[in-house]
């Protein structure tokens, strides 16, 4: 039934924390995810002007913080090109950690998650150090090792502006006796990391587009080109897993219904790569058409397919389904 490549049950990765229940990337979101039973918590990492790693999905922070209400920072509003996209707002690399600490987090999708908007203004923006301390503390109190699954966001961009993420990341993770996966949508920084650390690496693959370092290097390959048997073999030289958009495993038709699975899971396992799929969410807005109102069924389908892990905004439901399937064995 849940025949996975590692012969272990799939890991439950709390995507941006329990982000279905609390504003994403806050200590409250991570702590709740741990209390709900998640195996790993997933911080996306960007950097401040003074070189501190903090958890935000983007370095532009107007959607996820109350920066717009801080008149003292109005002069720092600007327009930049980040990975070929024009963005206007406030950017973490223009702020010191002391300035960032005066901000609070807000729910980025309040129309879909009004239940989270009530927490707007209650939580600060966590540093990676604070997140690690939380996970260590909770692991000790609960008596189980909780994993950390950090993502380097816009690594080439941060490298270009003189604030590389990787050295700070490895320094933070030094001597940590907890399960770790390090992930990136780019290729070159993972390859470099593989020379510097034995920690397991995850190549993220989107269903459209290409890694931004391929754009810089004028490499014509797209994400989909990385998924051929040859591409997967190359990834296996530096990574333990691929973290894939779930539509690459089971595509959808134009109205949004699930089609037949692709061969990706079989091909990846044949290349010795684990497969972690993203992102699982309860709301109908995100679900396949025929599963609307029944988000648990989506986990059942992907667990039966053999995924080794799922990134979810609602770790409790993923865990419920996982144990329901394990108990049927
Ligand atoms: O990191 C994999 C998963 O989190 C999907 O990416 O955009 O939510 O960081 P994103
Ligand atoms: Ca992520």
User: pLDDT of 29-66, one tens digit each?
Assistant: 999 999 999 999 999 999 999 999 999 999 999 999 99
Mean pLDDT value across residues 197-215: 98
The residue whose CB lies within 8 Å of the most ligand 1 atoms, and thus the one to mutate among 14, 17, 242, 243, is: 243
Tokens of 82: 């980040």
Gap from CA of 278 to ligand 2 centroid (Å): 9
More confident residue, 134 or 8: 134
Q: 72: CA distance to ligand 1 center in Å?
A: 31
The answer to whether the CB of 276 is under 6 A from ligand 1 is no
CA-nearest of 282, 307, 14 to 150 is: 14
Question: 311 CB less than 6 Å from ligand 1?
Answer: yes
Q: How far from the centroid of its chain's Cα atoms is residue 29's Cα?
A: 14
| Residue indicated by tokens 């107007």 | 62
Q: Which of 278, 312, 315 is the pocket-test mutation for ligand 1 (most atoms within 8 Å of CB)?
A: 278
Dihedrals phi, psi of 186, to nearest 5 degrees: -100, 165
Q: Is the CB of 151 under 6 A from ligand 1?
A: yes
Q: pLDDT > 90: what percent of the chain? A: 97
Mean pLDDT, to the nearest integer, of 195-219?
A: 98
- At residue 85, φ and ψ (nearest 5 deg) are -110, 135
Average pLDDT over residues 87-109: 98
Residue identifier of the C-alpha nearest atom 4 of ligand 1:
15
The continuous run of DSSP H or E covering 173 comes out as helix 165-173
User: 233-271 b/e with 16+ CB inside 10 Å = b?
Assistant: ebbbeebbbbbbebbbbbeeeeeeebeebeebbebbbeb
The pLDDT confidence band at residue 67, using thresholds 50, 70 and 90, is very high
150 CA distance to ligand 2 centroid (A)?
Answer: 8
Mean pLDDT of 95-113: 98
The C-alpha atoms of residue 34 and residue 121 are separated, in whole angstroms, by 22
| Mean pLDDT within 217-225 | 97
Does 313 sit in the ligand 1 pocket, CB within 6 Å?
no
Q: Minimum-distance ligand to the CA of 43? A: 2
Check residue 2 and give its pLDDT.
Answer: 59
Confidence (pTM): 0.97
Task: Give which of 241, 227, 131, 246 is closest to 190, Cα–Cα.
Answer: 241
Judged against a pLDDT cut of 70, whether residue 172 lies above it is answered with yes
56 lines ligand 1 (CB under 6 A): no
Half-sphere exposure (Cβ direction) of 3: Cα atoms closer than 13 Å: 5
Task: State the distance between the two ends of the chain, measured CA to CA, in whole angstroms.
Answer: 8
Report in angstroms the alpha-carbon separations of 159 from 11, 43, 77: 31, 19, 22
pLDDT of residue 62: 98
pLDDT band, residue 226 (cuts 50/70/90): very high
> What is the reported pLDDT for 6?
73
Which tokens hold the place of 315?
Answer: 């770790």
- The share of the chain scoring above pLDDT 70, in percent, equals 98
Structural contact between residues 103 and 69, judged by C-beta atoms closer than 8 angstroms: no
Give the model's confidence band at 4: pLDDT under 50 very low, under 70 low, under 90 confident, else very high: low
**Whole-number mean pLDDT of the chain?**
97
Question: Measured from the CB, is residue 279 less than 6 Å from ligand 1?
Answer: yes
Average pLDDT of 175-183? 96
Q: Which ligand is nearest to the CA of 244?
A: 1
Mean pLDDT of all residues in 157-166 = 98
| pLDDT at residue number 3 | 54
Q: What is the mean pLDDT of residues 128-135?
A: 98
The predicted model gives 166-173 an average pLDDT of 98
Residue 58 gets the label, from left (phi > 0), alpha (psi -120 to 50) or beta, of beta
Taking the C-alpha atoms of residue 289 and residue 189, their distance in angstroms, rounded to an integer, is 37
Residue 329 pLDDT greater than 90, yes or no:
no
253-282 per-position pLDDT tens digit:
999 999 999 999 999 999 999 999 999 999
Handedness of CA 207, 211, 212, 216 (dihedral sign): negative
pLDDT band at 328 (very low <50, low <70, confident <90, very high): confident
- Atom 7 (ligand 1): residue with closest C-alpha? 57
Burial class (CB in 10 A: 0-12, 13-18, 19+), 65: buried
128 Cα to the center of ligand 1, angstroms: 17
How many Å lie between the centroid of ligand 2 and the Cα of residue 44? 5
């Amino acid at each position: 039934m849940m025949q996975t490549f590692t012969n272990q049950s799939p890991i439950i990765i709390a995507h941006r924390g329990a982000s279905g229940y609390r504003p994403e990337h806050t200590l409250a979101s991570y702590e709740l995810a741990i209390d709900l039973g998640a195996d790993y918590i997933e911080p996306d990492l960007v950097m401040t002007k003074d070189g501190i790693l903090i958890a935000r999905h983007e370095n532009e922070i107007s959607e996820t913080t109350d920066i717009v209400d801080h008149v003292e920072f109005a002069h720092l509003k600007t327009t930049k090109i980040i990975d070929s996209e024009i963005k206007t707002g406030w950017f973490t690399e223009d702020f010191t950690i002391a300035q960032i600490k005066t901000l609070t987090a807000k729910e980025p999708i309040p129309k879909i998650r009004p239940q989270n908007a009530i927490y707007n203004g209650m939580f600060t923006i966590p540093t990676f150090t604070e997140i690690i301390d939380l996970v260590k503390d909770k692991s000790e109190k609960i008596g189980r090792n909780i994993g950390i699954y950090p993502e380097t966001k816009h690594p080439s961009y941060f490298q270009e502006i003189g604030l590389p993420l990787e050295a700070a990341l490895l320094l933070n993770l030094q001597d940590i006796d907890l399960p770790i996966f390090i992930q990136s949508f780019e290729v070159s920084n993972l390859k470099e990391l593989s020379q510097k650390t034995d920690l397991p690496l995850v190549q993220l693959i989107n269903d459209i587009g290409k890694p931004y370092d391929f754009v810089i290097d004028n490499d014509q390959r797209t994400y989909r080109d990385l998924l051929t048997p040859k591409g997967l073999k190359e990834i296996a030289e530096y990574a333990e897993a691929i973290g894939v958009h779930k539509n690459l495993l089971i595509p959808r038709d134009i109205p949004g219904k699930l089609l037949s699975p692709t061969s990706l899971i079989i091909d990846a396992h044949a290349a010795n790569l684990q497969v972690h799929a993203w992102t699982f969410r309860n709301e109908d807005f995100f679900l396949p058409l025929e599963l609307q109102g029944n988000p648990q069924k989506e986990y059942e389908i992907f667990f039966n397919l053999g995924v080794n892990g799922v990134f979810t905004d609602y770790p409790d439901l993923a865990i419920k389904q996982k144990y329901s399937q394990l108990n049927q064995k």
